[in-house]
Amino acid sequence: MGLGRLQAWMLGLPTAVVYGSLALFISVLHNVFLLYYVDTFVSVYKINKTAFWVGETVFLLWNSLNDPLFGWLSDRQFLSSQPRLCGEELLVGCKEAGSITLGQYLQQLARHRNFLWFVGMDLVQVFHCHFNSNFFPLFLEHLLSDHISLSTGSFLLGISYVAPHLNNLYFLPLCRRWGVYAVVRGLFLLKLGLSLLMLLAGPDRPGLLCLFIASNRVFTEGTCKLLTLVVTDLVDEDLVLNHRKQAASALLFGMVALVTKPGQTFAPLLGTWLLCFYTGEGPGSWRRGF
């Protein structure tokens, strides 16, 4: 009886509340894993570097392939029944009914210049976002542990995850007013300006270093969240360019993930190598109790 009441109450909730709650809980689980899994494996379990790289390679393969796989399963019925423009018939506007294979779809994407430019940029952005997330605690420890307290470090960790969501409340009205591309370009220029300022100031400014590490994390994460809006524009553009009856949104999102999600794997691999190179220590000795 109690379970039935709970189920009835949940079914009566507004769709926005249910969707928002689901997104919140998924985000919490994802961010906790993203922030601590590298530190946990290399500092708590102290697995060797080879085992870590093997695990990341397996993750790379599945993480990159599952999105286009499920996207193709979602959209293949629609793609197999739409009209197809063929060869010379395209010049005279004749249409031929036929199925579009995955190979033909990939050929269409290969001619989509905006898609190619976007996934190249997004690969770098995903790498940067996950590099910041994976190594944020370790950066605080090795660069700032002698200058900030434990509570300050915890505050910086917390604000780096809350601030991007708060920023988006401000960024979205800016996107409506100026356009997504102008806002994203502005964030890129802001990050570049902060990087040049930090380079000129040098590493002996702990206050400025705190600001740079936190702001770099916040603006990078905020930019990643806005890029989904660009993918929706690419879906609409693909619809027009290839004369589709219906947008192949799931498959295009999957193809974006296929190219960009390897950045999630390259980030911890490069990060562990850099820490080993600059500290001269193995992964298991990185964390000293910050």
One-character DSSP codes across 109-162: HHT-HHHHHHHHHHHHHHHHHHHHHHHHHHHHHHHHTTTS-HHHHHHHHHHHHH
Mean pLDDT of 173-195: 89
Assign 245 a pLDDT band (cuts: 50, 70, 90).
Answer: confident
> At a CB cut-off of 8 Å and minimum separation 6, what does 163 contact?
214, 218, 222
Assign 289 a pLDDT band (cuts: 50, 70, 90).
Answer: very low
Interhelix angle 113-144/150-178, nearest 10 degrees: 160
User: Looking at the predicted structure, is the pLDDT value of residue 87 above 70?
Assistant: no
Mean pLDDT of 165-192: 86
Interhelix angle 113-144/262-279, nearest 10 degrees: 30
C-alpha to C-alpha distances, 238 to 33, 115, 235, 242, 286, nearest whole angstrom: 34, 9, 5, 6, 47
Longest CA–CA span in the chain (Å) reads 72
Place of tokens 């400014």: 205
- Per DSSP, the residues of 73-87 read HHHHHHHTTSEE--T
**Do the Cβ atoms of 269 and 135 come closer than 8 Å?**
no
Output the pLDDT for position 215.
83
- CA–CA dist 115, 256 (Å, integer): 8
φ, ψ of residue 97 to 5 degrees: the values are -75, 130
User: With the CA atoms of 267, 226, 72 and 62 taken in that order, what torsion angle do they form, in degrees rounded to the nearest 10?
Assistant: 20
User: pLDDT tens, 203-230?
Assistant: 778 778 778 877 888 888 888 888 888 9
Mean pLDDT of 190-214: 84
The pair of three-digit structure tokens given for residue 279, joined into one six-digit string? 């500290």
Assign 23 a pLDDT band (cuts: 50, 70, 90).
Answer: confident
User: pLDDT tens, 114-165?
Assistant: 999 999 999 999 998 888 877 777 777 766 767 777 777 777 777 777 777 7
- Mean pLDDT over the full length of the chain: 78
User: Looking at the predicted structure, is the pLDDT value of residue 274 above 70?
Assistant: yes
Q: How many CB atoms lie within 10 A of CB 272?
A: 23
What is the DSSP code (8-state) at residue 41? I
Interhelix angle 206-241/249-260, nearest 10 degrees: 140
Assign 90 a pLDDT band (cuts: 50, 70, 90).
Answer: very low
Helix (H, G, I), strand (E, B) or coil at 261: coil
**Do the Cβ atoms of 238 and 247 come closer than 8 Å?**
yes
> At a CB cut-off of 8 Å and minimum separation 6, what does 140 contact?
148, 153, 156, 157, 213, 290
The pair of three-digit structure tokens given for residue 240, joined into one six-digit string? 């027009």
- CA–CA dist 55, 129 (Å, integer): 20
Output the pLDDT for position 82.
60
> At a CB cut-off of 8 Å and minimum separation 6, what does 71 contact?
248, 250, 251, 252, 253, 254, 255
User: Looking at the predicted structure, is the pLDDT value of residue 99 above 70?
Assistant: no
> At a CB cut-off of 8 Å and minimum separation 6, what does 133 contact?
31, 34, 35, 217, 221
The mean-pLDDT minimum among 165-169, 170-174, 264-268 falls in: 165-169
Q: How many CB atoms lie within 10 A of CB 72?
A: 17
